[in-house]
Chains A and B, each alone.
Chain A
């Protein structure tokens, strides 16, 4: 993964932006225990990372942005919670894998990367819960069903439906993130008079 000075500075700026969002907005949302704060944060973070990818269209650049944001979060005051750090890194990794497979930046892969990155927020507790905190998958599942029953107004017995609805909603939000990032990147490139890397 070789980058020029200009690319490194660009990646640093995008990583810092994601870091700012996680440190300031993230801390507020987590402290106030606002529901779905993970989706909000990952949506903003992935928008930044995906726009960054358009400006540095090289393999590894999305992950690079994620690593910078993770380190900033790790070393911020009150940043002891390991969940957000794992979240940032994994979302960046998921987006990186999707974008690297396609090679050249494309709108469709940006949408897919956004969708899968945000969908990870739903799956993350099932991985970090048992691995890091020793919570059983069953308890994590119960939490999810309880949340679904409260916000969707569905009976807890319709567990599969709750999961499917959540997954679809997260995928749609993520797809919108990818689409938005693509549009913003295009407009930014036009505004700044740069050669378009997005068609």
Chain B
């Protein structure tokens, strides 16, 4: 079952500097991802190294998760085909022919994947979901903070409710005959329960005089270094975007 522990709801974990707030972390995340996306291939190793160095300084723990077999396998699966299918097979190792051009491409792919994974992992482990909700509320998605809060609290209930409906259908042989109808009824039951929950939540919120127009957006954590980090990241982004034209 999905519990509150499965979702990183509220945190300021060790390894994340209290000097940085949500905007600072977001700026670093955007800078890292966009930089590896737009940097030309010849400069990519340098750009990736810079991004990984920044990640190591700001959220060193983000590297730990990447050491899992799952991620390593994914990286290999994404990078390996290039070694054999991109460019001419001009080199050989242990009797296996491979392409030097493909190998270069594979190294670039690995660099990009590493940066993207570390950036996402670092960002999500340093910032809490309500801060991101608050940030999005400020850019036009009004009421998102309320909805995120409701969604977070509902996750375990909805999952349990869906599981109960599935088990009931399964145990009563609902999928033995007329499977399509059974599945349709399953979806109907799950959605019907969910709508019932929505009704209850809306009533409870209205009873507490909640209105989206009058509510304040969720607070966004502000760090002392945020402005400086935003300026640095913006400068870095401009440099990364302009580099191909120089």
CB-based nearest B residue for A79 = B124
A13 & B124 in contact (Cβ 8 Å cutoff): no
Please, how many angstroms separate the alpha-carbon atoms of A23 and B156 in the complex?
Answer: 11
Q: Is A45 an interface residue (CB 8 A)?
A: no
Find out whether the CB atom of A136 lies under 8 angstroms from the CB atom of B120.
no
Q: Mark B186-204, 1 if CB is under 8 A from A, else 0.
A: 0110111011011101100
| Proximity bits, A1-16, B CB within 8 Å = 1, else 0 | 1111110111111111
- CB atoms of B129 and A64 under 8 A apart: no
A2 and B142 contact, CB distance less than 8 A = yes
Q: How many residues of B contact A (CB 8 A)?
A: 72
Partner of A75, one of B85, B124, B188: B124
Contact in complex: B33, A132 (CB < 8 Å): yes
Check A180 for interface membership: any CB of B closer than 8 A.
Answer: yes
Supposing A64-B147, A188-B192 touch, asked if A1 and B158 sit within 8 A by C-beta, the answer is no
Cβ-defined contact, B136 with A67, below 8 A: yes
Q: How many A-B residue pairs have CB under 8 A?
A: 187
A132: chain B residues at CB < 8 Å are 33, 37, 112, 116
Q: Does B65 contact A (CB under 8 A)?
A: yes
B105 at interface (Cβ–Cβ under 8 A)?
Answer: yes
Residue pair A71, B37 in contact (C-beta under 8 Å): no
Closest residue on chain A to residue B108 by CB atoms: A134
Partner of B210, one of A5, A20, A31: A5
Chain A interface mostly: helix
Interface check A82, CB cutoff 8 A: yes
Min CB gap A142→B, angstroms: 6
A158 interface residue per 8 A CB criterion: no
Q: Which one, A1, A5, A143, contacts B141 given CB within 8 A?
A: A1
Query: Which residues between 158 and 186 of chain A lie within 8 Å of chain B, taking CB atoms?
Result: 180, 183-184
With a CB–CB cut-off of 8 A, which chain A residues contact B117?
A: 80, 82
A81 to B73, CA, bound (A): 13
In the complex, identify which listed stretch (B6-14, B20-28, B217-225, B232-240) lies at the interface while the others stay far away: B6-14
In the assembled complex, B86 has its CB within 8 A of some CB on chain A: yes
List CB contacts (< 8 Å) of B201-233 with chain A: 201-202, 205-206, 210-213
8 CB contacts below 8 A, A to B, read A5-B146, A6-B206, A12-B198, A67-B141, A72-B129, A77-B8, A82-B120, A133-B78
The 9 A-B residue pairs with the shortest CB-CB distance, nearest first, are A12-B150, A12-B147, A16-B151, A6-B202, A9-B202, A13-B198, A134-B112, A9-B201, A8-B143
What residues make up the interface of A, taking CB atoms closer than 8 Å to B?
A: 1-6, 8-17, 19-20, 23-24, 31, 47-48, 51, 55, 64, 67-68, 71-72, 74-77, 79-82, 131-136, 138-139, 142-143, 180, 183-184, 187-188, 191-192
